[in-house]
Structure 1
Amino acid sequence: MTAPTPADPDRQRQRQIEDELLRTVLASFENTPDARLREVMQGLVGHLHAFIREVRLTEAEWQQAIDFLTATGHRTTDRRQEFVLLSDVLGASTQTINVNHEATAGATEATVVGPFFVEGSPEIALGGDMAAGAPGEPCWVEGTVTDTEGNPVSGARLDVWEADEDGLYDVQRDGDQLAGRAHLHTDDQGGYAFWGLTPTPYPIPHDGPVGELLDKTARSPLRASHLHFKATAPGLRTLVTHIFVEGDDLLGSDAVFGVKESLIKRFERQPVGTPTPDGRDLSGRSWSRVRFDIRLAPQRA
């Protein structure tokens, strides 16, 4: 048996000090009236203290973390949510989605909403153009919305939004014009169709604290090419998801960990002069088309 070293009592005392503080902080939340809030706060405190103790966080590093979060708050505006970006690049957004959208047989998988969803997008008719002048190659998007039993969902609301070919969302450009986003409703058979843009890769905003973090950790800010969807219908679980472009080189390194295999779709390129489904005249431009059938899970009780 190894004899104790002179430092052992000091180590034991140090552990006692740290354990005692953790118990005291946890106990401070014991009288929280809301049981769920008590559970969340005690879980957070337990993991936070475990992290600090595991990595033996220095005071300088803790101050650096506070400065980073302060800068993240200062960078956040009504047009840019830096905290959402931070959550995204840490995988916290996707993991929260995973926890809250448990696998349901036959249902379309959910993924992150991202920082650029905007309430109050313009409504378009079936077959309308959500690009609204945003630059990029036209893309015909079509599909059906059903429940997991295959029953069509008529009148489902679909919010759709995406970046343009320059890798920018409308809210990243000067002015207040909305482009590259809209909402529409499914027909009596659950069908939908609209014109959008062929998705292209783009970087998440990386000129702020989150971008600095990615740079220091040798990570790319690039997102795999995608098109956002939000589907809502009475009695069914709201779905927020994307579809991704088959063959995109970034599918395995998406900056926000949003790619799921079931959401990778084939965007079929159409040569110049190929007739469009609705007879639209594209004036000699190429275009693409994709089908995305959405299956909504039952709403939780």
Structure 2
Amino acid sequence: MATTPAVSSRQRQVEEDLVRIVLASFDDTPDPRLKELMQALVRYLHDFIREVRLTEAEWQHTIDFLTAAGHITTDHRQEFVLLSDALGASMQTMNVNHEATACATEATVVGPFFVEGSPEIPTGGDMAAGAPGEPWWVEGTVTDTDGNPVAGARLEVWEADEKGLYDVQYADGHLAGRAHLYTDSTGRYAFWGLTPTPYPIPHDGPVGRLLDKTARSPLRASHLHFMATAPGLRTLVTHIFVEGDHLLGADAVFGVKDSLVKRFERQPAGTPTPEGRYLADQTWTRVRFDIVLAKASQAGGGEPRAIHA
């Protein structure tokens, strides 16, 4: 480890004077929250620069990295979301804004592949829409923290196919592996999807190069995304993960929580399915995921922002 050079008292004073000047430049910010954010950012940023004695070349590398992230970002790829995820910032923001509440289901990251305008499917419908993979039956209920069933809750679901790709990563613009549906009068939901498999986050850009240089894997643990919304209840963004997946302790975006790890039961070919689907020559899996939504007044923070892929 490199030794941080000693800083003279005169040099320290020069640096502290600059921090005070920059902080004071935000004193007249009309919005008190913006003022708080900017001054805290300045303090932590300057502390970092001073602690590691950041070189001009390293700062230029930082600028180049962020510029490259901007250049590779498109309507179908958000490199800054990937960077936030890979640094654990997305997960920590979720933690701060979704404090554990009673028995409410825990939240985790949105990720860069949520897309608005998904097709609607009925209870028991197939969100795979032809995407390749092993069929998977998902069912459960949505209740509030008092145990009351939530009828008409909207569930957005999206996942990668068996190749580890989301629909938006294909060039033809088709929609598959994503849908939305509503709970019935008893709060129940059910649908067909694809048994999740591990996949890498996009790593052909600056974030991928950063992971490579720091000897980190780009792989995500196998999962399915959920977003649950209902009037008067807190919007939940979460995943479910596959019990036994070797990547549960090494998820590239730190999204795994123990309560979200579920047992997936593989069914032999020919096993009758809940909705009478004929799968005579194919195995399939099933899982149950009961969702508990906190009341809007039970948790702080704003609603999650829709992040486009």
Deviation at 1:176, TM superposition (A): 1.4
Answer with 1 or 2: which has the greater Rg.
1
How much has 1:284 moved relative to structure 2?
A: 1.2
Task: Write the mapping of 1:18-57 to structure 2, written as runs, cut at 5 A.
Answer: 18-57=15-54
2:156 equivalent among 132, 136, 159 = 159
Whole-angstrom CA distance in 1 between matches of 2:102 and 2:40: 31
Which of 160, 165, 169 in structure 2 is aligned with 1:168? Answer: 165
In 2, distance between residues paired with 1:150 and 1:245? 26
| 8 Å CA contact 2:195, 2:285 repeated in 1 | yes
Q: TM-score, normalised by structure 2?
A: 0.94
Q: Quick one: distance in 2 between partners of 1:244 and 1:198?
A: 10
One-letter code aligned to 2:107: A
Could you state the TM-score of these two structures normalised by the residue count of structure 1?
A: 0.96
Residue of structure 2 in register with 1:207 after alignment: 204
Q: How far off is 1:183 after superposition?
A: 0.1
Offset at residue 274 of structure 1 (A): 0.5
- Aligned pairs, number: 294
Q: Could you report, residue by residue, the CA deviation over 1:207-249 in whole angstroms, capped at 9, with x for unpaired residues?
A: 0000000000000000000000000000000000000000000
Distance (Å, rounded) in 1 between the aligned partners of 2:220 and 2:182: 28
Q: Within the alignment, does 1:115 sit opposite 2:99 as a pair? A: no
Matches within 5 A, 1:1-301: 11-300=8-297
Structure 1 runs of 4+ with >3 Å offset: none
Give the percent of matched residue pairs that are identical in Structure 1 and Structure 2: 79
Within 2, Cα distance between the matches of 1:145 and 1:276?
22
Letter in 2 for 1:212: R
C-alpha distance in 1 between matches for 2:9 and 2:188: 67
CA deviation after TM superposition for structure 1 residue 175, in Å: 1.0
For 2:306, the equivalent position in structure 1 comes to: none
User: What is aligned with 2:301?
Assistant: none
User: C-alpha displacement at 1:300, in angstroms?
Assistant: 2.9
Mapped partners of 1:240, 1:283: distance in 2: 35
Residue segments in structure 1 that go unaligned for 5+ positions in a row: 1-6
Secondary structure at the residue paired with 1:243? strand
Q: Structure 1, residues 30-60: CA drift from partner, whole Å, max 9, x if none?
A: 1000000000000111000000000000000
Q: What secondary structure does 2:16 align onto?
A: helix
Matches of 1:33 and 1:72, distance apart in 2: 31
Task: Tell me what 2:307 maps to.
Answer: none
Shift of 1:283: 4.1
Paired with 1:43 and 1:120, the residues of 2 have a C-alpha distance of 37
- Tell me the equivalent position of 1:4: none
The alpha carbon displacement at 1:282 in A equals 2.1
Q: CA deviation at 1:294?
A: 0.2
2: CA distance between counterparts of 1:40 and 1:104?
Answer: 26
Show structure 2 runs of 5+ residues with no match. Answer: 299-309
Tell me how far 1:28 sits from its aligned partner. Answer: 0.4
Question: How far off its partner does 1:174 sit?
Answer: 1.4
Q: Partner amino acid for 1:109?
A: E
Q: 1:67 Cα deviation (Å)?
A: 0.2
State the superposition RMSD in angstroms: 1.2
Q: Deviations over 1:75-108 (max 9, x none)?
A: 1000010000000000000000000001101000
